[in-house]
Amino acid sequence: MINSTYIMPVRLPKPGLRNIDGHLLYLEHAGPHMATLSVVNDVLSSELTSAGQLVETMDLELFGKSLFIEHIIMISLYDEYIYHETLVHPALLSLENPEKVLIIGGGDGGALREVLKHPVGEVTMVELDRSVIEIVRKHVPEVPGDSFEDPRLKLIIGDGRKYVESCEEKYDAIILDVTDPYGQAVRLYTKEFYSMVRKLIGDGGL
């Protein structure tokens, strides 16, 4: 059988904002040979954080307010609820009485928002970049709501892997809400890391 698909080895344009024929567009790489263009209604913020990440928020024509980290879309108001609800509820609903939950990452607050809908006693969140939290709360506050004000939250700004390596606590559920495997996040996609995470899960936990 002859494969009629041929991918030409071309170099994609750099991702980011583009002005094409008077239209403001955002170019995002969707793979080594593919890119997408989104119409931008407004640039809400663009910041190189102290953690070394380029964090941008845009109001997109199709997806509404959206968060980008290193030119990759993380969430949009249009569909973030689908991701966060499916990330959290299947796990917590399968547990009889989850008391302690650990979230690694999740700086946009969406996973935290969903966890706090359950009668949990304590939620520990370990987020590498405080600026992500601050930017989302300012420019996309619809996602976290008032989750970061909840007294059940124990917020730790730091490296998720280092926290897991040194942690001696046990959790009923551990949720990983991290960026794609590039940069520092690569260390969160190894068998060694998941083995360490497993040791923090209490009896009957997930």
Asked whether the beta carbons of 196 and 165 are under 8 A apart, the reply is yes
Residue 29 to residue 73: CA distance in whole angstroms: 10
Residue 205 to residue 170: CA distance in whole angstroms: 9
- Structure token pair of residue 182: 């590039």
Residue 113 to residue 147: CA distance in whole angstroms: 5
What is the per-residue burial (b if ≥16 Cβ within 10 Å, else e) of 88-106? beebbeebeebebbbbbbb
Q: Active-site residue among 21, 108, 177, 180?
A: 177
Question: What phi and psi values does residue 83 have, to the nearest 5 degrees?
Answer: -65, -50
Task: Find all residues with CB under 8 Å of 141, minimum gap 6, and list them.
Answer: none
The one-letter amino acid at 120: V
Confirm whether 177 is a catalytic residue.
yes
Residue 163 to residue 187: CA distance in whole angstroms: 13
Residues annotated as part of the active site: 177
